[in-house]
Amino acid sequence: MSINDQQTEAVKASNEKTCFIKTYGCQMNVYDSQRMEEALAAAGYRPVAAAEDADMVILNTCHIREKAAEKVYSELGRLKPLKQQNKDMVIGVAGCVAQAEGAEIIARAPVVDMVFGPQTFQQLPAMLDEIDDRRARGDKPKLVRTDFPAAEKFEALQAIARKPITRSPSAFVTVQEGCDKFCTFCVVPYTRGEEVSRARADIIAEARALVADGVSEITLLGQNVNAWEHEGIRLDGLLTQLGEIEGLARLRFTTSHPRDMDAALIAAHGENEKLMPYLHLPVQSGSDAILKAMNRKHSAADYIELTRKFRAARPDLALSSDFIVGFPGETDADFAATMALVEEVNYAQAFSFKYSPRPGTPAADAADQVDEAVKAARLARLQGLLNAQQVAFNNAQKGRVLPVLFDKPSKSGDQMSGRSPYLQPVHVPFEVLGGRDATALRGRILPVEITGAHANSLSGVLAI
């Protein structure tokens, strides 16, 4: 019996209620799922490792591309027989599919009891009470909550006690939600609402509590994290204040929009010692015509200039990006401009996608949609180039000594894993730990001599 099975049995025996949350999509959803789990713990629900063992199952969903949204319906199909066995089970759909499709989800999948958007999960315990009350009266309640009280969510986050950190010395803290940019391909402004910044003092308090719990790396999250602003302070100022927290060794932030970059945040990369030399800065396309049609409000040259400024402030900065190929109207020449931008910038890592028309977004209605086969061929070429750059970046680390924040044993169970400053996973085999206890390394930042480079990770030996 695994530890998870034993925990599940123990929970069943104690007659507590149990919950299982499955998370799709971005880091914001990962953060929200953790907060939901904590809110549910306060309401008497213990997390279990499988839907089969849960009284309540929540799917925290992503709507960014069609494939991501469709996964939710196949998962709901798998949950149906479980609910037939356990009539008391509550099934909830949360996140961006919930926000975008609302009551339609219940029409398509009647197994669902409640639908709630990303800004309303703090109402979860109250929703569950309502379901209990109404079921007790013989009703079959279906709850749909998809309004946008983002400020209320941020207030509620303060009230949710965070679990002592047992998972990782690296934690996320949401500082900003929503998007006002309305890129013509993107659902986020509709599913996450307008840009809202969380209060500075609340962020600092959450960070302090995490550090007191053993966290040494914090990644600030926001759909437009560099639009964060509160009491006249912008992100560089927040990073300075967070950098003053003793015991906090590393700071990161994601995702930034090129339009919201300012000189102070660029300079911070050369001045704030805790800020890691890694920046995720999506460009989406290298063609000015496509960038205009996407409503990105910057040119390819603006973006390249921005990366030059960052590298002037922090010469070893590793850059990452997002790309979309096959946006409506994209010609061979437009695609060639994207390849040229990638050649020019040289990325350490990147994400790339075929354009996926999203209902309700302007580009979905454009007449000049690109053929799927053309999209697939362009994606393969782009990914070939991006992968080659990533491999070259990883290879360049061989022979260097990098500070690694150790986290946990790798899945294979015979090596300890951590992250380099450039966010690469770094594995150190147990046999070369020099007799050190692997788990005692967790949370420590130690020098590692890099001896091996792979497509998605590095390996090495402790250099102490």
Given the rule CB under 6 A, which residues bind ligand SF4?
A: 179, 181-183, 186, 188-189, 223-224, 257
Please choose which of ligand 5AD, ligand SF4, none residue 355 contacts, taking the beta carbon within 5 to 8 angstroms, the exact cut-off set by kind.
Answer: ligand 5AD
CB atoms near residue 159 (< 10 Å): 9
CA distance 118 to 147: 9
CA distance 234 to 250: 19
Closer residue to ligand SF4, CB minimum distance, 224 or 390? 224
Residue in 126, 1, 110, 116 with CA at minimum distance from that of residue 53: 1
Angle at which helices 150-159 and 200-212 pack, to 10 degrees? 30
Please choose which of ligand SF4, ligand 5AD, none residue 223 contacts, taking the beta carbon within 5 to 8 angstroms, the exact cut-off set by kind.
Answer: ligand SF4
Closer residue to ligand 5AD, CB minimum distance, 40 or 188? 188
- Minimum CB separation of residue 182 from ligand SF4 in Å reads 6
Q: Give yes or no for a contact between 223 and 189, defined as CB atoms under 8 angstroms apart.
A: no
Task: Name 51's Cβ contacts closer than 8 Å, sequence gap at least 6.
Answer: 20, 22, 57, 78, 79, 82
Closer residue to ligand SF4, CB minimum distance, 185 or 335? 185
Please choose which of ligand 5AD, ligand SF4, none residue 97 contacts, taking the beta carbon within 5 to 8 angstroms, the exact cut-off set by kind.
Answer: none
Residue in 188, 217, 239, 184 with CA at minimum distance from that of residue 361: 184
Closer residue to ligand 5AD, CB minimum distance, 183 or 265? 183
Q: Which amino acid is at 377?
A: A
Residue in 363, 242, 250, 258 with CA at minimum distance from that of residue 309: 258
Task: Name 157's Cβ contacts closer than 8 Å, sequence gap at least 6.
Answer: 35, 122, 174, 198, 202, 206
Please choose which of ligand 5AD, ligand SF4, none residue 235 contacts, taking the beta carbon within 5 to 8 angstroms, the exact cut-off set by kind.
Answer: none
Please choose which of ligand SF4, ligand 5AD, none residue 358 contacts, taking the beta carbon within 5 to 8 angstroms, the exact cut-off set by kind.
Answer: ligand 5AD
Please choose which of ligand SF4, ligand 5AD, none residue 198 contacts, taking the beta carbon within 5 to 8 angstroms, the exact cut-off set by kind.
Answer: none
* Buried-exposed string 346-369: b where 16+ CB fall within 10 A, e elsewhere: ebbbbebbbbbebeebbbbebeeb
Q: Give yes or no for a contact between 379 and 325, defined as CB atoms under 8 angstroms apart.
A: yes
- Minimum CB separation of residue 95 from ligand 5AD in Å reads 14
- Minimum CB separation of residue 292 from ligand SF4 in Å reads 14
- Minimum CB separation of residue 143 from ligand SF4 in Å reads 27
Please choose which of ligand SF4, ligand 5AD, none residue 249 contacts, taking the beta carbon within 5 to 8 angstroms, the exact cut-off set by kind.
Answer: none
DSSP-based helix, strand, coil % in the chain, nearest 5: 45, 20, 35
Closer residue to ligand 5AD, CB minimum distance, 243 or 362? 362
- Minimum CB separation of residue 281 from ligand 5AD in Å reads 10
Closer residue to ligand SF4, CB minimum distance, 160 or 319? 319
Please choose which of ligand SF4, ligand 5AD, none residue 311 contacts, taking the beta carbon within 5 to 8 angstroms, the exact cut-off set by kind.
Answer: none
Residue in 250, 235, 242 with CA at minimum distance from that of residue 204: 242
- Minimum CB separation of residue 351 from ligand 5AD in Å reads 7
Q: In terms of DSSP bridges, do strands 415-419 and 425-429 run parallel, antiparallel, or are they unpaired?
A: antiparallel
Helices (H), 112-234: 124-136, 150-159, 188-191, 200-212
- Minimum CB separation of residue 356 from ligand 5AD in Å reads 4
Residue 440 DSSP SS3: helix
**Residue of minimal Cβ distance to ligand 5AD:** 322
- Minimum CB separation of residue 277 from ligand 5AD in Å reads 21
Closer residue to ligand SF4, CB minimum distance, 255 or 415? 255
CA distance 193 to 190: 5
Please choose which of ligand 5AD, ligand SF4, none residue 306 contacts, taking the beta carbon within 5 to 8 angstroms, the exact cut-off set by kind.
Answer: none
- Minimum CB separation of residue 423 from ligand SF4 in Å reads 20
Gap between the terminal Cα atoms of the chain: 38
- Minimum CB separation of residue 356 from ligand SF4 in Å reads 13
Q: Tell me which DSSP letter residue 279 carries.
A: E
- Binding positions for ligand 5AD, rule: CB under 6 A: 64-65, 185-186, 282, 284, 322, 324, 353, 355-356, 358
Please choose which of ligand SF4, ligand 5AD, none residue 181 contacts, taking the beta carbon within 5 to 8 angstroms, the exact cut-off set by kind.
Answer: ligand SF4
Closer residue to ligand 5AD, CB minimum distance, 222 or 237? 222
Helices (H), 332-403: 332-345, 372-395
Closer residue to ligand 5AD, CB minimum distance, 378 or 427? 378
Q: Give yes or no for a contact between 414 and 459, defined as CB atoms under 8 angstroms apart.
A: no
CA distance 24 to 191: 15
| 197 strand-pairing partners | 176
Please choose which of ligand SF4, ligand 5AD, none residue 182 contacts, taking the beta carbon within 5 to 8 angstroms, the exact cut-off set by kind.
Answer: ligand SF4
Closer residue to ligand SF4, CB minimum distance, 198 or 298? 298
- Minimum CB separation of residue 140 from ligand 5AD in Å reads 35
Pull the structure tokens for residue 361. Answer: 């977004």
